[in-house]
């Protein structure tokens, strides 16, 4: 597994986990401690993945900006001022835009308003579109050692396909014979499909945007482009 695949896979798995976490955190309103934890965990993810894959991006200024994001996130604990929360949200988004600049060799110390605007726009575009590149170009699925895993997954699915009809048949018989078991089964399967769909959709949106932003701010595009050109020339 090459470096690009390893980095892309790490971003993908982390984004999926954070998508579920974000769904759990931000469903409850009004936002307070949950929003602070959301911003703090996201900032921690940025730091850890950069430390593991792009440590050169962790300059004192970058770390200071990440600390500023946590500070702005802490302002959600003050729920009395809606205007403050709007400004804090905007400050976090702008900071995220500035944090993508080092990935393109732009020093935040000398960056101007134009660079900040470009970083802001790029972070938004990357959050929406970069997951396509992450899934289609960054991760070499053929090179992953997944043959044994695929066989195991297929065996599990095959076993479920065989067992499910038997479970339904005997479950129906038990429900017909025992009223207590019928009440238990009804409680188990009595779920709200709208709630489940909303959880899945919100988790997926958070995971998608997180994967896109991390890909746009951490993956070394110039190095990978150079490696691809060298491989094509060879």
Residue showing tokens 């988790």: 203
pLDDT in the model for residue 84:
79
Interval 26-60: pLDDT, tens: 887 777 888 889 999 999 999 998 888 888 888 88
With respect to residue 164, please indicate whether it lies within any of the assigned structural domains. no
- Burial of residue 233 (CB within 10 Å: 0-12, 13-18, 19+) is exposed
Residue 11: count of CB within 10 angstroms of its CB: 26
Rounded to the nearest 10 degrees, what angle do helices 33-53 and 193-218 cross at?
40
Distance CA(104)–CA(133), nearest Å, equals 17
CB atoms within 10 A of CB 167: 10
Listing DSSP states for 111-160 in one string gives: --HHHHHHHHHHHHHHHHHHHHHIIIIIS-GGGSS-HHHHHHHHHHHHHH
In a domain, 16, yes or no: yes
pLDDT > 70 fraction of the chain, expressed in percent and rounded: 65
**pLDDT recorded at residue 135:** 85
118 has pLDDT over 90: no
Tell me if the pTM is above 0.85.
Answer: no
Mean pLDDT score, 199-212: 90
Task: Give me the pLDDT at residue 226, please.
Answer: 41
CA-wise closest residue to 41 among 71, 8, 70, 61: 70
| Helix, strand, coil percentages in the chain from 3-state DSSP, rounded to 5 | 85, 0, 15
pLDDT, tens digit (0-9, with 9 covering 90-100), for 225-234: 444 433 334 4
The answer to whether residue 119 sits within a structural domain is yes
Write out the residue range of the structural domain in which residue 212 sits: 3-146+193-233
Whether 225 maps to a domain, the answer reads yes
Residue 166 lies in a domain: no
Is the residue at 175 inside a domain?
no
**Is the model more confident about 200 or about 170?**
200
Instruction: With respect to residue 221, please indicate whether it lies within any of the assigned structural domains.
Output: yes
Place of tokens 């997926």: 204
69 upstream amide cis, omega within 30 of 0: no
Tell me the pLDDT tens digit for each residue of 64-117. Answer: 989 999 999 888 887 667 777 888 888 898 888 888 877 666 555 555 566 667
Overall number of domains in the chain: 1
Residue 159 lies inside a defined structural domain of this protein: no
């Amino acid at each position: 597994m090459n470096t690009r695949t390893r980095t892309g896979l790490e971003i993908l798995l982390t984004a999926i986990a954070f998508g579920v976490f974000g769904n759990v955190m931000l469903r409850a309103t009004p936002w307070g401690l949950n929003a602070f934890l959301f911003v703090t965990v996201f900032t921690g993810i940025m730091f850890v993945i950069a430390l593991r894959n792009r440590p050169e991006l962790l300059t004192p200024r970058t770390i200071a900006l990440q600390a500023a994001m946590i500070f702005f996130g802490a302002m959600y604990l003050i729920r009395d001022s809606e205007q403050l929360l709007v400004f804090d949200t905007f400050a976090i988004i702008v900071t995220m835009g500035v944090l993508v600049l080092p990935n393109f060799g732009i020093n935040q110390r000398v960056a101007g308003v134009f660079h900040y605007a470009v970083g802001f726009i790029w972070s938004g575009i990357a959050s929406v579109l970069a997951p396509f590149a992450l899934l289609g170009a960054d991760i070499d699925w053929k090179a992953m050692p997944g043959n044994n895993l695929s066989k195991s997954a297929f065996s599990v699915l095959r076993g479920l396909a065989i067992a499910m009809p038997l479970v339904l048949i005997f479950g129906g018989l038990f429900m017909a014979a025992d009223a207590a078991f019928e009440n238990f089964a009804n409680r188990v399967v009595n779920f709200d499909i709208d709630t489940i769909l909303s959880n899945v959709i919100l988790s997926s949106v958070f995971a998608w945007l997180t994967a896109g932003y991390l890909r746009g701010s951490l993956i070394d595009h110039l190095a990978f482009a150079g490696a691809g050109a060298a491989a094509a020339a060879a």
